[in-house]
Homo-oligomer: A and B are copies of this chain.
Amino acid sequence: MIVVMQPGATREEIAMVCRRLEELGFKAHPIYGQEKTVIGAIGDKRALSSDALVNLPGVEKIVPILKPYKLVSKELKNTPTIVRIGGVPIGGRSIVVMAGPCAVESEEQLMVTAWAVKEAGAQILRGGAFKPRTSPYSFQGLEEEGLKILARVREETGLPFVTEVLDTRDVPLVAEYADALQIGARNMQNFRLLKEAGATGKPILLKRGLAATIEEWLLAAEYILDTGNPQVILCERGIRTFETATRFTLDLAAIAVVKENSHLPIIVDPSHGTGNWKYVVPLARAAIAAGADGLLVEVHPDPARALCDGPQSLHPETFERLMGEVAAVALAVGRVAAGGSESCWGWKPVGTEAIKRKAQTIKRKA
């Protein structure tokens, strides 16, 4: 920490700051400049609320030097963390795609979607049972019934699933069913929820808050690691800016910043990040090219009738195209993705025919 004194700070003021720093357990090193004096404070800033020193007479500002996070930091652990969701490793050489509808609406809707995304190469299913909605008049999710549907679809398709938990009280219930818990953007700084979810020991998918700095996001992950659970996947999903052509502004530089500072894996959600299905495929490619470890993509069998986030949901056929294009980019950056064949350009969309047959079987059963 560096304490910057005001231009006219007196000797007494400087001495008082030094004394106060020593009281707080720091060693104080003043440097007397031509216009200003700065005081280097050696010690561990994390232990105290040292920004309050700015109130001492003659102090202009406090400049922190150490990063405020520890456990998530590459300075502590310099090898990439690999998180496993139902056996699928995230953070290694393979790109992992998690896909599914915004909200679980019915068993049929989810089953059709799950088969479609699986055949296209997705390895993890996503779907909301508890939905945070801006308006109280919007569909709020099927709740426990939604979790049961997710579990049945997992049983049939073999896809592990991630689903959001909104409330500390629901954590045990959701953890009973889900392979991984999602903390949504609006709950990124719901610190109680972070602790409670972390304590389950389940993998946590931590979305970036829509006005959260990368540092705040890593500190939110630090809350989870601090419970003893290192299984955190970060998910960039767009931040709020002045631009209105897209719903949010996807911050792909965040991938590079996270990779420089943390050992945690990071994936990208181009569906929320753009809010418009037309932009999902190019931004998915860009995310992988920038170094993301995976994607979270919204897919709906009939987007025009989706109860939630229809405008940004991909039709299964577009999702297949996404998987093929992502696989090509993955290879170009030295990684592999399940959606494409191993041959460099010979990727061929998997069968929508197969998906339709599957869907008909399900309808017959119902």
A192-B167, A252-B252 known; A222-B279 Cβ under 8 A: no
Chain B min CB distance to A220 (Å):
8
Secondary structure at the A interface, as helix, strand, loop or mixed, is mixed
A329 touches B325 (CB 8 A): no
- When C-beta atoms are compared, the residue in chain B nearest to A239 turns out to be B241
Residue A29, interface by CB 8 Å = yes
Q: Which residue of B lies closest to A73 (CB)?
A: B7
Chain B residues, CB < 8 A from A51: 310-311
Within 8 A of B (CB), among A221-262: 222-223, 226, 239-246, 249-257, 260
Instruction: List B contacts of A274 (CB < 8 A).
Output: 253, 256
- Per-position binary interface string of chain A over residues 17-58, scored 1 when its CB falls under 8 Å from any chain B CB and 0 otherwise: 000100000000101111110101011101101011111100
Q: Which residues of B contact A75 (CB under 8 A)?
A: 7, 35
List of B residues within 8 angstroms of A167 by Cβ: 168, 192-193
List the B residue with the shortest CB-CB distance to A307: B49
Asked whether A310 and B242 contact (CB < 8 A) given A190-B186, A251-B249, the answer is no
CA distance A189 to B243 in the complex (A): 16
Q: How many subunits of this chain does the assembly comprise?
A: 4
* A126 partner residues in chain B, CB cutoff 8 A: none
| CB <8 Å contact, B304 and A56 | yes
Are the CB atoms of B291 and A282 closer together than 8 Å?
yes
Contacts A133-B191, A239-B242 known; list 18 others, CB within 8 Å. A31-B42, A35-B66, A35-B75, A38-B65, A49-B306, A53-B304, A134-B189, A136-B191, A136-B219, A186-B189, A210-B211, A213-B245, A240-B240, A241-B241, A243-B251, A245-B257, A250-B253, A325-B333
Q: Which residues of A contact B (CB under 8 A)?
A: 2, 4, 7, 20, 29, 31-36, 38, 40, 42-44, 46-47, 49, 51-56, 63, 65-66, 68-69, 75, 132-139, 166-169, 186-187, 189-193, 209-211, 213-216, 219, 222-223, 226, 239-246, 249-257, 260, 273-274, 277-279, 282-283, 285-291, 303-308, 310-311, 313, 325, 328-329, 331-333, 344
